[in-house]
Amino acid sequence: MNVYVPEYYPRFRCIASECRNTCCAGWEIDIDPESLARYQRMTGEFGARVKRSVSLDGTPHFILSERERCPLLNRDNLCDLILHEGEGALCQICRDHPRFRNYFSSRVEMGLGLVCEEAARVILSWPSRLRLIRLEGDGTEELTEDERWLLTFRDEWLRSLPEEGPKTRLMETLIYRHLADALYDGRLDERIAFIRKAFQTMTDGWRDGRADTLAERARRFSDAVEYDDEALEQWISGAGGDL
């Protein structure tokens, strides 16, 4: 399977304690079965703390504090699980975030979500057009007719954008993330309309031309819409609009 990522993807590194909007707070963090089994095998004082931090009620998840922080996030906004056990101990959601994947029959496209302030900064300050690089696979592909059509349509749309600037990087990111989903649900027109409306919402009134101010608008929009299934569905079906 070929795996593609945007050129800027390898530049992303979580800024951890420097992050003003840590993703380890405010969201429920579900735990995949493999990580759960690892946590249940952990021993000692730290192992006991990890076990106390997990709820098995429904989908296993970390029990957030009253301030909705992950119980393993310490006062310096660093993850105690990483500090004690290394990055390999993270559950799948924490390992993946803020990455997303779009699946085709013989390729996977991965990207960075704008919801992460550092990812948004990397993306919107990138100096050149969206270009994909192959991380895995030999490049041989057998795509369906619909997939080939969609990729050609997407390339033409991307090429029609101006070359420079954070606004173009934003539009490219929306197209790259959301258009491929039309292959699953056939709602191409709705997704095109959503991409245009999302872009308009994030750029309306943005005049200073700075990537960092646009990144903050993008981060807020992404948090409220892209990472909330109900809100995203409303926006795609045309009912969304208020944030």
In the complex, the residues that contact ligand SF4 under the rule CB under 6 A are 14-16, 19, 21-23, 97-98, 116-118
Task: Supply the minimum distance, in Å, between the C-beta of residue 216 and ligand SF4.
Answer: 12
Nearer to ligand SF4, 22 or 35 (CB): 22
DSSP of the chain, one letter per residue? -EEEEETTGGG----GGG-TT-TTBSS--B--HHHHHHHHH--HHHHHHHHHTEE-SSS-EE---TT-B-TTB-TTS-BHHHHHH-GGGS-HHHHHTTEEEEE-SSEEEEEE-TTSHHHHHHHHT--S---EEEEES-S-----HHHHHHHHHHHHHHHTS-SSSHHHHHHHHHHHHHGGGHHHH--HHHHHHHHHHHHHHHHTT--S--HHHHHHHHHHHIIIIIT-HHHHHHHHTT-----
Shortest Å distance, C-beta 23 to ligand SF4: 3
**Closer to ligand SF4 by Cβ: residue 109 or 117:** 117
| CB nearer to ligand SF4: pick between 89 and 150 | 89
Q: How far is the CB of 119 from ligand SF4 (least distance, A)?
A: 6
Between 99 and 197, whose beta carbon lies closer to ligand SF4?
99
Structure token digits, residue 47:
């192992």
Q: How many CB atoms lie within 10 A of CB 56?
A: 11
Strand 2-6 and strand 107-112: the pairing is: parallel
Q: How far is the CB of 82 from ligand SF4 (least distance, A)?
A: 11
Least separation in angstroms between residue 187's CB and ligand SF4 is 29
Structure tokens at 160: 């029609």
Min dist. Cβ of residue 182 to ligand SF4 (A):
28
- Give 21 or 125: the residue with its C-beta nearer to ligand SF4: 21
Between residues 123 and 150, which has the closer beta carbon with respect to ligand SF4?
Answer: 123
